[in-house]
Amino acid sequence: MADEDQIIETIDENGNVIKFELFDIVEVDEQEYALLLPVEEEESEELILMRLSKDGEEYLFETIDDDKEFDKVAQYVESMEDEDEE
Protein backbone atom coordinates (compact mmCIF):
# COMPACT_ATOMS: atom_id res chain seq x y z
CA MET A 1 0.00 0.00 0.00
CA ALA A 2 1.34 3.44 -0.89
CA ASP A 3 2.28 5.78 1.94
CA GLU A 4 -0.13 8.51 0.91
CA ASP A 5 -1.43 11.38 2.99
CA GLN A 6 -4.68 10.72 4.76
CA ILE A 7 -7.08 13.47 3.80
CA ILE A 8 -10.06 14.07 6.04
CA GLU A 9 -13.03 16.12 4.86
CA THR A 10 -15.19 17.91 7.39
CA ILE A 11 -18.02 20.41 7.04
CA ASP A 12 -17.81 23.65 9.01
CA GLU A 13 -20.71 25.49 10.62
CA ASN A 14 -21.35 27.35 7.33
CA GLY A 15 -21.67 24.12 5.33
CA ASN A 16 -18.27 24.53 3.63
CA VAL A 17 -16.19 21.40 3.02
CA ILE A 18 -12.75 21.75 4.57
CA LYS A 19 -9.97 19.27 3.85
CA PHE A 20 -7.40 18.34 6.46
CA GLU A 21 -4.35 16.13 6.39
CA LEU A 22 -4.24 13.69 9.30
CA PHE A 23 -0.99 14.66 11.02
CA ASP A 24 -1.12 12.37 14.05
CA ILE A 25 -3.40 10.66 16.55
CA VAL A 26 -2.72 11.00 20.26
CA GLU A 27 -4.40 9.43 23.25
CA VAL A 28 -5.16 11.46 26.38
CA ASP A 29 -7.05 9.90 29.30
CA GLU A 30 -8.06 6.91 27.16
CA GLN A 31 -9.65 9.19 24.52
CA GLU A 32 -8.14 9.49 21.04
CA TYR A 33 -7.66 12.89 19.41
CA ALA A 34 -6.71 13.70 15.84
CA LEU A 35 -4.17 16.38 14.98
CA LEU A 36 -5.15 17.83 11.62
CA LEU A 37 -3.41 20.27 9.27
CA PRO A 38 -5.54 22.37 6.90
CA VAL A 39 -4.76 21.30 3.31
CA GLU A 40 -5.84 24.53 1.63
CA GLU A 41 -3.64 26.84 3.67
CA GLU A 42 -0.10 25.98 2.59
CA GLU A 43 1.46 28.54 4.92
CA SER A 44 -0.53 27.47 7.96
CA GLU A 45 1.38 25.82 10.77
CA GLU A 46 -1.80 25.67 12.82
CA LEU A 47 -2.82 22.23 14.00
CA ILE A 48 -6.50 21.54 14.51
CA LEU A 49 -7.45 19.27 17.42
CA MET A 50 -10.53 17.08 17.11
CA ARG A 51 -11.89 14.30 19.30
CA LEU A 52 -12.01 10.90 17.59
CA SER A 53 -14.85 8.51 18.19
CA LYS A 54 -15.71 5.32 16.41
CA ASP A 55 -19.13 4.48 15.05
CA GLY A 56 -18.90 0.90 13.86
CA GLU A 57 -16.07 0.94 11.31
CA GLU A 58 -16.33 4.70 10.73
CA TYR A 59 -14.25 7.26 12.58
CA LEU A 60 -16.05 10.44 13.56
CA PHE A 61 -14.19 13.72 14.05
CA GLU A 62 -15.84 15.91 16.65
CA THR A 63 -15.00 19.42 17.76
CA ILE A 64 -13.86 19.78 21.36
CA ASP A 65 -16.34 22.17 22.97
CA ASP A 66 -15.06 21.77 26.53
CA ASP A 67 -12.28 24.32 27.19
CA LYS A 68 -10.69 22.21 29.94
CA GLU A 69 -10.58 19.14 27.71
CA PHE A 70 -9.15 21.17 24.81
CA ASP A 71 -6.48 22.78 27.03
CA LYS A 72 -5.48 19.39 28.44
CA VAL A 73 -5.00 17.91 24.96
CA ALA A 74 -3.21 21.04 23.69
CA GLN A 75 -0.79 20.92 26.63
CA TYR A 76 -0.12 17.23 25.97
CA VAL A 77 0.64 17.95 22.30
CA GLU A 78 2.93 20.85 23.26
CA SER A 79 4.79 18.63 25.72
CA MET A 80 5.32 16.08 22.91
CA GLU A 81 6.74 18.84 20.67
CA ASP A 82 9.09 19.92 23.47
CA GLU A 83 10.38 16.36 23.82
CA ASP A 84 11.01 16.17 20.06
CA GLU A 85 13.17 19.30 20.18
CA GLU A 86 15.49 17.92 22.87
- The pLDDT of residue 24 is above 80: yes
pLDDT digit string, tens, across residues 28-71: 999 999 999 988 766 667 889 999 998 898 888 899 999 999 99
Q: What is the DSSP string of 33-80?
A: EEEEEESS-TT----EEEEEEEETTEEEEE----HHHHHHHHHHHHHH
Q: Residue 56: left if φ>0, alpha if ψ -120 to 50, beta else—which one? A: left
| Cα distance between residue 42 and residue 62, in whole Å | 23
Of the candidates 32, 33, 36, 27, the residue with the CA atom closest to the CA atom of residue 5: 36
pLDDT given at position 43: 61
The yes-or-no verdict on residue 23 having pLDDT over 60 is yes
